[in-house]
């Protein structure tokens, strides 16, 4: 799937995006609020959905080579996160959609013919 389409589906707002981010491919989606879970996940080019807003979220995403992070269930996020995302070069967005709803919407996208 294309990251841009997923971002649109969740009405997510960009916090930090590199050039040509619209072309980024996503291999799988992983939703969790436990960093330990993210670190044991096996997927590649993952889109990470989480409601955590600590700098460790971005750092962890970089460690596992995630394609992007969307912080869900948030109408705003701490200002320092944009800097962390820039340093780690991880595309970062936020969306007010709940984690469950975000998973359902993305799941339907995958099922669509």
Partner 1 sequence: MLDSSALRVQVLAYGLKIRDVMTTKIFAVSRNCTMGDVQTIMKNNGISGVPVVDERRVVGIISMHDILIALENSRLQELVTKHMTTDVKTLSEELPLSFAISAFSNHPFRRFPVVNQANELVGIITPRNINLALIRELSRQLDEIEEELAPSAVPKANSVFHRAYRLTRYDFEHAGMASAELKRELKKRGVPPKIIRRAAIVSYELEINIVAHSHGGTLTLFIDDHRMRITAIDFGPGIPDLDAAMREGFSTANEWIRSQGFGAGMGLPNAKRVSDEFEIQSGVEMGTMVKAIVFLNRNR
Binding site for partner 1 (CB under 8 A): 33-37, 39-40, 50, 52, 54-57, 59-60, 62-65, 87-88
Identity of the residue, 9 or 54, whose beta carbon is nearer to partner 1 in the bound complex: 54
Please report how close the Cβ of residue 63 comes to partner 1 at its closest, in angstroms.
5
- Count of CA atoms in the C-beta half-sphere (13 A) of 11: 7
30 by DSSP, 3-state: which?
A: strand
Nearer Cβ to partner 1, position 62 or 103? 62
Residue whose token pair is 């998973």: 103
Output the smallest distance, CB 112 to partner 1, in A: 30
Q: CA–CA distance from 16 to each of 54, 92, 111 (Å)? A: 15, 5, 29
Chain position carrying tokens 């930090």: 16
Compare residues 39 and 104 and give the one whose CB is closer to partner 1: 39
Give min distance, CB of 40 to partner 1, in A.
Answer: 5
Cα–Cα dist 98/71, whole Å? 10
Query: Smallest distance, Å, CB 108 to partner 1?
Result: 28
């Amino acid at each position: 799937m294309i990251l841009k389409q997923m971002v649109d589906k969740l009405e997510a707002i960009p916090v930090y995006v590199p050039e040509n981010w619209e072309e980024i491919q996503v291999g799988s989606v992983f939703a969790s609020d436990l960093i330990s879970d993210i670190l044991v996940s096996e997927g590649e080019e993952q889109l990470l959905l989480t409601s955590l807003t600590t700098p460790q979220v971005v750092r962890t995403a970089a460690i596992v080579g995630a394609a992007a992070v969307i912080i869900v269930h948030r109408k705003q996020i701490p200002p320092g996160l944009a800097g962390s995302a820039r340093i780690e070069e991880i595309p970062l967005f936020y969306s007010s959609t709940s984690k469950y709803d975000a998973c359902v919407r993305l799941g339907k996208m995958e099922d669509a013919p």
